[in-house]
Amino acid sequence: MTGKQRKQFWNVIQITLILIAAFIMLIPIIWIFLAAFKTHVDVYQLKLFFTPTLENFGTVFDAPYNLGNKLINSTIVAGVTVLFAIPIATCAAYSFSRFRLRFETSMLVMILATQFVPAVVIILPFFVMFRDLGLLDTRLGLIMVNLAIVMPFAIWMIKGFIDGIPLETEEAAMVDGSTRVQVIRNIVLPMAAPGLFTAGIFCFIIAWNEFLFALILTNKDAVTLPIGLALFKAEEGDLWNLLSAAGIIIMLPMFILALIIRKYFVQGMTMGAVR
Amino acid sequence: MRDNKLKYILVLPAIIVVFATAVWPLIESLRLSFTVGRLTKPNFPQGYLGWENYTWAFMEEPAFWNSVEVTVLYTLITVILTTLIALGLAMLLAPGGRLRGGVQTLLILPFAMSPALIGVSFRFMFNPEFGLFDAFFGVVIPPLAEISWLSDPTLAFVVCVMADVWGWIPFLTLVLIGGLASIPQDTIEAAQVDGASSWRVFKDITLPQLVPVLAVVLILKAIFSLKTFDQIYMLTNGGPGTATQTLSHYIYFSGMKYGQIGYSASVAWVMVIPMILLTFLYARYVFQKR
């Protein structure tokens, strides 16, 4: 084989491997998509071709499943969590980015560490406290604990964005007589807006997919979508067509959001350790 | 307002939230771990027990040791497998172009999927009657055709590992692609001109420069593997028996199902300690970059 042939040969091998990997990545997702459009008869067979139906998407919103309630709960819980998290995180991120603070490193490590504490450890005392306060099975309770998981991501991510804003503009405005608060409002916030938006979407996805807190703290009124998946276990086994339809309702909006912010996903998850 | 006051006012709300939602529950868990802490009985958390919950877990509970074993094994296997496969995939996808770029975009999808849903989808794929993967493995490895994966202790564990690896490869691949992109190309090109084989280039140039990123990936994955709960809960719920019961799942069960908050808090704290070590290791890499 000549050098060129060898190169071509390797190229074919590589492309084959890439296609196989992409196929393996997609197949469980595709399979859910197919199952969601199958009737409850077709879903119990390994069929690739079938007459699609939209019936499942209607059924999941009807009694006794009422997935609509869970959809509303998930949207409110994730949305309000983000609405609280982003402003709080932005203030902190600006301060960490622009000033030297006493105990700065300790604070940043602490914030980082909260992300790594197992959720099951955090939830035990919250369960006891919410039981006493009557906050079990409420959206408010869920929003409070969800702040715990999104806060570190939000702070680190927004800090990364603010670090990237050049200092000169801010300094120039200060020289012209603007106060620090004016500088933050008129210069930093507009420039950091895309970053705040990205961090908001990232946190929304995390809060939306959150499972353990909702499992422990809710049982009827405040149940979120991922916990709602458990509804589709019947006496005769799992109702796969309905499970799949619910699965699409959970994942499709997140796919769209994730694609919007895809460039920043890695940075957000590693909290700036990898850029 | 002066900056030296303002800068502390700005971080205060965040610090309060972090204290209230993470530091306080950690300390409160520690306190509860020394009490009887029975949810179903009056006067919670009853009395002070000293180290009894801890000694009970270590001396009297095979189920605790089982979950430690499952968690350690699960962490080791998933960390190694995910990292190796992700490294391979990152090398394949790093050059970019239309196909590779497209696949990189697709990699976001599994990552935006709720881990609970990943658990559900793998239970679906390994259903003995109409599961796609079950059918596939039945054809490729005939002895497995008649076996119900999720009823067999070893195979159920294997399915849990597969679901985890499937869910995490995309993210680790994207991180490693980022790492590969930051390696200066001129050393690699110089070595290629000198006639070094691809393997030598990878081993002597690429890999050493990738070490910091690999370290971040390994630590991050180890932390998330140790914490695993959602997927296991939806996929096997710890079963069959306790074959796939991770520590998080064991803590959840003893705390929430049996109402032994004190005992489960003590087990939870056994789990917190390796986490703290890993976090400090991770923090070192984060702050090196600053």
Residue A41 one-letter amino acid:
V
Residue B95 inside a domain? The answer is: yes
pLDDT lower than 50: segments of chain A: none
Which residue in chain A is spatially nearest to B214 when comparing CA positions? A274
The 3-state DSSP class for residue A224 equals coil
The CA R_g of chain B, rounded to the nearest whole Å, is: 23
Residue B208 one-letter amino acid:
P
Give contacts of A205 with chain B, Cβ < 8 Å: 112
Q: Do A209 and B125 touch (CB under 8 A)?
A: no
The full set of domains in chain A, from first to last, is: 3-56 (no CATH), 67-240+248-270 (1.10.3720.10)
Residue contacts between A and B (CB atoms, under 8 Å): 279
The one-character DSSP state at B35 is B
- Cis peptide, bond prior to residue B45, ω within 30 of zero: yes
- Residue B288: closest CA among A94, A95, B280, B182: B280
* Residue that the structure tokens 């497209």 belong to: B102
Query: Long-range CB contacts (< 8 A, 24+ apart) of A62-67?
Result: A64/A231, A65/A228, A65/A231, A65/A232, A65/A242, A65/A246, A67/A225, A67/A228, A67/A231, A67/A246, A67/A249
The 3-state DSSP class for residue B81 equals helix
Give contacts of B195 with chain A, Cβ < 8 Å: none
Is A145 within 8 Å of chain B by CB? Answer: yes
B11, B132, B279 ranked by CB distance to A116: nearest: B279
Is B170 within 8 Å of chain A by CB? Answer: yes
CA dist., res. B41 & res. B119, Å (int): 34
Structure tokens of B114?
């709720």
Q: Do B25 and A122 touch (CB under 8 A)?
A: yes
Residue B81 inside a domain? The answer is: yes
Distances (CA, A) of B3 to A99, A161, A178: 9, 21, 13
Residue B39 inside a domain? The answer is: no
Q: Where is B266: in which H helix or E strand?
A: helix B261-288
Residue B129 class from Cβ within 10 Å (0-12 exposed, 13-18 middle, 19+ buried)?
Answer: exposed
Residue B262 inside a domain? The answer is: yes
At B182, which CATH number?
A: 1.10.3720.10
Q: Do B115 and A211 touch (CB under 8 A)?
A: yes
Is B94 within 8 Å of chain A by CB? Answer: no
User: What tens digit of pLDDT does each residue of A213-251 get?
Assistant: 999 999 888 999 999 888 887 666 788 888 899 999 999
- pLDDT value of position A46: 73
The one-character DSSP state at A134 is T
Phi-psi region at B18: left, alpha or beta (left = phi > 0; alpha = psi -120 to 50): alpha
| Counted domains in chain B | 1
Is B49 within 8 Å of chain A by CB? Answer: no
| End-to-end Cα distance, chain B | 29
Please report the ipTM that was assigned to this predicted complex: 0.88
Q: Do B112 and A116 touch (CB under 8 A)?
A: no
Residue A203 class from Cβ within 10 Å (0-12 exposed, 13-18 middle, 19+ buried)?
Answer: buried
Q: Do B268 and A44 touch (CB under 8 A)?
A: no
The one-character DSSP state at A237 is E
- pLDDT value of position A48: 74
- Residue B29: closest CA among A69, A124, A64, A34: A124
Residue B210 inside a domain? The answer is: yes
Q: Do B106 and A25 touch (CB under 8 A)?
A: yes
Residue B109 inside a domain? The answer is: yes
Is A41 within 8 Å of chain B by CB? Answer: no
- Residue B82: closest CA among B199, B158, B160, B171: B171
Q: Which of residues 95-134 of A touch B (CB under 8 A)?
A: 95-96, 98-99, 101, 105, 107-114, 116-128
Q: Which of residues 215-244 of B touch A (CB under 8 A)?
A: 216, 220, 223, 226-227, 229-230, 233-234
Sequence-ordered alpha helix ranges (H) in B129-206: 132-140, 153-181, 185-193, 198-201
pLDDT lower than 70: segments of chain B: 1, 288-290
Min CA distance, B177 vs chain A (Å)? 10
Give the residues across from A233 on adjacent strands.
A238
Residue B97 inside a domain? The answer is: yes
- pLDDT value of position A44: 76
Is A37 within 8 Å of chain B by CB? Answer: no
Q: Where is B84: in which H helix or E strand?
A: helix B62-93
CA geometry: angle B10, B11, B15, nearest 5 deg: 145
Q: Do B15 and A107 touch (CB under 8 A)?
A: yes
User: What tens digit of pLDDT does each residue of B53-88 get?
Assistant: 888 888 888 889 999 999 999 999 999 999 999 999
Residue B263 inside a domain? The answer is: yes
- Give residue B176's domain range: 52-288
